[in-house]
Amino acid sequence: MDQRDEQEFAEYFAARRDAVRRTAYMLCGDWHKADDLAQTAFVALHRRWKKIRDRAATDAYVRTTLVRASIDESRRPWRREWQTETLPEPADDTPGLDDLVATREDLLAALKEVPPKQRAVLVMRFFEGLDVTSAAQALGCSEGNVKSQTARGLANLRQVLEREVETNG
> 70 and 101: one domain?
no
* pLDDT at 78 (0 to 100): 60
Name the nearest CA neighbour of 20 among 44, 39, 1: 39
Q: How many domains does the chain have?
A: 2
Domain CATH number, residue 63: 1.10.1740
Decide if 47 is inside a domain: yes
| Burial class of 44 by CB neighbour count within 10 A (0 to 12, 13 to 18, 19+) | middle
- Residue 1 and residue 71 in one domain: yes
* pTM tops 0.75: no
Give the integer Cα–Cα distance in Å for 115 and 169.
Answer: 24
pLDDT digits (tens, 9 = 90+) for 54-88: 888 898 889 989 988 888 877 766 655 666 777 76
